[in-house]
Structure 1
Amino acid sequence: MNRIATATTLDHATVWSRLPIPGRRPIDIRERAAANATITYRFAGVRAAGALTIVPTFANDLEAIPTAIRIRLGIPGPQTDCRSETRTELPVINGVTLHGEIPAINPAEYLARTRPRLYFSRTGSRELSDATNDYFCQILNAIIGSYLKRPQTSNERRAVAIRTAAGRLTRLEHQHIASARAALDLQLYHLAALDLAADDLRHLTQHPISPIR
């Protein structure tokens, strides 16, 4: 895979690559990183063209550094509107326009599957065929593999972690930790009641009351 940057700093360079697709001709991609760690990929191949964005995201609320990615098809419309109908450059595969979003996947775990596959919707009335979905998944898998090899990906993940740390800490303390402490207090109260009942039964087994004659 050849990567050619066209800017002096790699962080925000537009990088051209040619990615192999199993059993098909390669695709050409243009990779562009934004300051918010969103990576835009524009791709072109045989009966395949369009764009998608990848951004680091958290797999759960306990992660300090995000390990997952969120994938959205197309490019955001005006005012960074995220609705599918306002996005441009939606992927067109075998003449079919696709739309959709993958909220969070672990990219390394996903690519380690025997047959990594995701499912997408199409715009319009025709059903999306398995062949078209499979072809796009092959393209997407190649792009995800390229994304993981980027030298700046780890720095982008850390930048996202730093930028969101204060808000995530507040949510963790006020929601999850507070809820866990309340649940713990309830369990400790319940445990104390169980211990008291056990003490009463233990006393009866050790000091049986003589029957009345």
Structure 2
Amino acid sequence: MSVDVVLPCLDEVGALPWMLGRLPTGFRALVVDNGSSDGSAEMARGLGATVVHEPVRGFGAACHAGLTAATADVVCFCDCDATLDPRQLPRVVAPLLAGEADLVLGRRRPVGWRAWPPPARLANLELARRVRRRTGLRLADLGPMRAARRSGLLALDVRDRRSGYPLETVLRAAEAGWRVRETDVDYRPRTGRSKITGTVRGSLEAARDMTTLLNSLGAAGRERVR
């Protein structure tokens, strides 16, 4: 069975060889170039990836462009900064293929103290707590490595095109009664600087996006993570 892997990309030329070189057999890379100026698109294409161009800036815009371009029944999302190991994608896909879940999230386990700075980790824990209170989903993380079926994701009609896209996906999945499950994945120090939490402006914008989504979307169903 083939799986499409959406890799949102903005100036990740330093991470692409490692990322694309570790994709398992049967997993096709869809690198969504979101306006890179460092030659990321050319490198990805040279390494055999399918490149999708999304001129509208925003993490959600890149994710949605990749989802739209995907053709496989199962679609994964993964950050393109080498924090997550593509070789672990099969363990995220497995509960989906076994019929045990509708959405699988990779719960990040830091590899080394530099992998996940305490402020970012605490912010993620608080966000997971708020999602749990709103939806009943017992999540420990809103990890960026995830898997679901393409048709289902499109039906969720996620609207956010900024940093709130992963959160809105989880909230809408809960509203739809999806079975959401977590599985552990390694989390490594990133290559290059984060476009979101690596700057004060990016952090503030991400916090604003998440708060807006939590306040605007209604309470969801009570399906639990196992």
Relative to the length of structure 1, the TM-score reads: 0.25
Looking at secondary structure, tell me which structure has more strand per residue: 1
- Pick 1 or 2: higher relative contact order, CA cutoff 8 A, min separation 6: 2
Q: Which has the larger radius of gyration?
A: 1
Relative to the length of structure 2, the TM-score reads: 0.24
